């Protein structure tokens, strides 16, 4: 009996370990132009994965060209985890763990990356995407909340399983009273007894609702307060008000079920356009690495296949900015024993001397945001100019390398 019980216990432990290793806890938002300060939609994905090395890749697609975030090990870019195309259609996803319960499909699971690549090269807008979904029923092994925006002002989530999907139109006040929706790792149309990410969902809802009481949503809010969020809705802790260590002396705190977490590998905010604007102005603001150790790098599909050198790399290698980010991330999670990944060295992030990584990076990031915003403003008046974008890329490469070299010696 004892041996049998031991075998069962070991089997259960292995099953739990396997389940945890396959759990990718992303957080996201789709925000319509009705809720933003400038009337342009925003699409946000905070990506969690076991693939820490990420980079950007440009593609000449079947119908449209596009830029996507890929795993650096994916040498040909077979799977896209978030991206935008030349028509202004943008897509991302969060895995949903309460769809397809009890269902079977004759194709492999976890095809979300393949699916999003196919959508980016074929879809110009939400209408095209819905046709793509209809044609693909039963043909894709997917269980996800797909968030999309387009150049017509469209903004929606699609809770999608093997054989069906449900659209949540973010422009419909009956569906999204405030003009935005949040999704983590469960679907509202799914099995209520399953799913994950409920704590992060509550955190994001509270964050967005409190901000929206006083102001419309802005890129800066999503980038600074949502993507780098340090609150936990369950424990009511807020690391923004946590007593800061005196210096960089290692100071551990429990760090689990925050939006930012050890498994966060990259994020993206797509800033869309108004219906009467050039889709080429759609801007993909990417954070290619752990958000507390990475500064943002904006790119445009309309600029063509040349990308900032800090965001891309040859086959099998990771982006330089991602490599720098991961080097700094080690300082944030130096405990390598037991469940050390669940303990953040808060002193590496912020301290009273102001030498924390995030304390140094955010002021530097402001210059990127401001310089890019000024350029986009000019384009909205005079039209997009590829040469301006390429010039901005060169400046961005020099600036990013300078910041990491001068502030951290890498």
Q: What is the pLDDT of residues 95-127, one digit of tens each?
A: 999 999 999 999 999 999 999 999 999 999 999
Cα 183 from Cα 322, distance rounded (Å):
26
Asked, for residue 401, whether it belongs to a domain, the answer is yes
| Tokens standing for residue 277 | 């604007």
Task: Please report which confidence band the pLDDT of residue 24 belongs to, taking 50, 70 and 90 as the band edges.
Answer: low
What value does the mean pLDDT of the chain take?
94
Q: What is the pLDDT of residues 319-359, one digit of tens each?
A: 999 999 999 999 999 999 999 999 999 999 999 999 999 99
pLDDT for position 62: 86
- Asked if 310 and 397 touch (Cβ cutoff 8 Å), the reply is yes
Closest CA to 226 of 243, 211, 215, 213: 211
pLDDT for position 25: 82
Q: Using DSSP bridges, classify how beta strands 231-232 and 237-238 pair: parallel, antiparallel or unpaired.
A: antiparallel
User: CA separation (Å) from 103 to 106, 109, 160, 191, 278?
Assistant: 10, 12, 13, 12, 43
Residue 341 belongs to a domain with what CATH number?
Answer: 3.60.60.10
Task: Please report which confidence band the pLDDT of residue 12 belongs to, taking 50, 70 and 90 as the band edges.
Answer: very low
Calculate the dihedral angle through the C-alpha atoms of 379, 383, 386, 392, rounding to the nearest 10 degrees. Answer: -10
Q: What is the pLDDT of residues 28-50, one digit of tens each?
A: 999 999 999 999 999 999 999 99
Closest CA to 308 of 296, 295, 299, 317: 299
pLDDT for position 13: 37
Question: Worst-scoring range by mean pLDDT, 7-16, 27-36, 197-206, 247-256?
Answer: 7-16
Cα 98 from Cα 390, distance rounded (Å):
44
Q: What are phi and psi of 252, to 5 degrees?
A: -85, 140
CB count in 10 Å sphere of residue 198: 14
Asked whether residue 134 carries a pLDDT value surpassing 90, the answer given is yes
- The stretch 178-198 carries a mean pLDDT of 96
Task: Please report which confidence band the pLDDT of residue 299 belongs to, taking 50, 70 and 90 as the band edges.
Answer: very high
Task: Please report which confidence band the pLDDT of residue 218 belongs to, taking 50, 70 and 90 as the band edges.
Answer: very high
Asked, for residue 285, whether it belongs to a domain, the answer is yes
More confident residue, 268 or 12: 268
Asked, for residue 186, whether it belongs to a domain, the answer is yes
Asked, for residue 390, whether it belongs to a domain, the answer is yes
pLDDT for position 17: 36
Q: What is the pLDDT of residues 354-404, one digit of tens each?
A: 999 999 999 999 999 999 999 999 999 999 999 999 999 999 999 999 999
- Asked if 156 and 170 touch (Cβ cutoff 8 Å), the reply is yes
Q: Determine the 3-state secondary structure of 233 from DSSP.
A: coil
Closest CA to 397 of 313, 304, 272: 313
Asked whether residue 11 carries a pLDDT value surpassing 90, the answer given is no
Asked whether residue 308 carries a pLDDT value surpassing 80, the answer given is yes
pLDDT for position 23: 58
Q: Considering its fold, how many domains does the chain have in total? A: 1
Asked, for residue 345, whether it belongs to a domain, the answer is yes
CB count in 10 Å sphere of residue 178: 17
Share of the chain above pLDDT 90, in %: 92
Asked whether residue 231 carries a pLDDT value surpassing 60, the answer given is yes
Domain coverage including residue 199: 26-306+317-408
Asked, for residue 280, whether it belongs to a domain, the answer is yes
Query: Order of strands across the sheet with 283-287?
Result: 180-183, 27-31, 42-48, 264-271, 283-287, 297-299
Asked, for residue 15, whether it belongs to a domain, the answer is no
């Amino acid at each position: 009996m004892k041996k049998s019980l031991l075998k069962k216990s070991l089997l259960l432990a292995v099953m739990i370990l396997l389940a945890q290793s396959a759990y990718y806890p992303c957080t996201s938002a789709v925000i319509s132009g009705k809720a933003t300060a400038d009337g342009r939609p925003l699409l946000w994905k905070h990506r969690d994965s076991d693939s820490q090395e990420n980079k950007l890749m440009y593609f000449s697609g079947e119908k449209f060209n596009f830029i996507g975030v890929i795993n650096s090990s994916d040498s040909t870019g077979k799977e896209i985890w978030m991206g935008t195309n030349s028509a202004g259609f943008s897509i991302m996803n969060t895995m949903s763990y309460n769809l397809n319960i009890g269902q079977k499909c004759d194709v492999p699971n976890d095809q979300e990356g393949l699916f999003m690549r196919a959508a980016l090269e074929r879809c110009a807008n939400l209408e095209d995407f819905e046709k793509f979904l209809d044609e693909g029923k039963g043909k894709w092994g997917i269980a996800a909340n797909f968030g999309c925006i387009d150049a017509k002002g469209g903004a929606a989530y699609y809770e999608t399983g093997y054989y069906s999907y449900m659209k949540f139109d973010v422009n419909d006040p009956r569906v999204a009273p405030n003009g935005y929706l949040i999704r983590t790792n469960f679907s509202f149309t799914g099995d209520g007894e399953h799913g994950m990410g409920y704590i992060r969902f509550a955190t994001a809802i509270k964050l967005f609702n409190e901000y929206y009481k006083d102001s419309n949503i802005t890129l800066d809010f999503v980038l600074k307060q949502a993507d780098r969020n340090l609150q936990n809705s369950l424990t009511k802790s807020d690391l923004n008000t946590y007593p800061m260590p005196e210096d960089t002396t290692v100071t551990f705190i429990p760090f689990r079920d925050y939006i930012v977490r050890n498994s966060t590998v990259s994020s993206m905010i797509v800033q869309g356009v108004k219906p009467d604007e050039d889709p080429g102005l759609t801007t993909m603001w990417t954070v290619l690495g752990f958000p507390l150790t990475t500064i943002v790098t904006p790119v445009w599909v309309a600029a063509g296949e040349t990308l900032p050198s800090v965001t891309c790399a040859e086959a099998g290698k990771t982006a330089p900015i991602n490599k720098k980010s991961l080097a700094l991330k080690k300082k944030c999670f130096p405990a390598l024993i037991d469940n050390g990944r669940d303990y953040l060295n808060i002193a590496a992030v912020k301290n009273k001397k102001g030498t924390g990584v995030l304390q140094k990076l955010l002021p530097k990031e402001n210059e990127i945001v401001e310089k890019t915003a000024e350029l986009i403003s000019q384009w909205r008046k005079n039209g997009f100019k590829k040469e301006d974008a390429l010039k901005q890329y060169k400046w961005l490469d020099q600036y990013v390398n300078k910041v990491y070299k001068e502030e951290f010696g890498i």
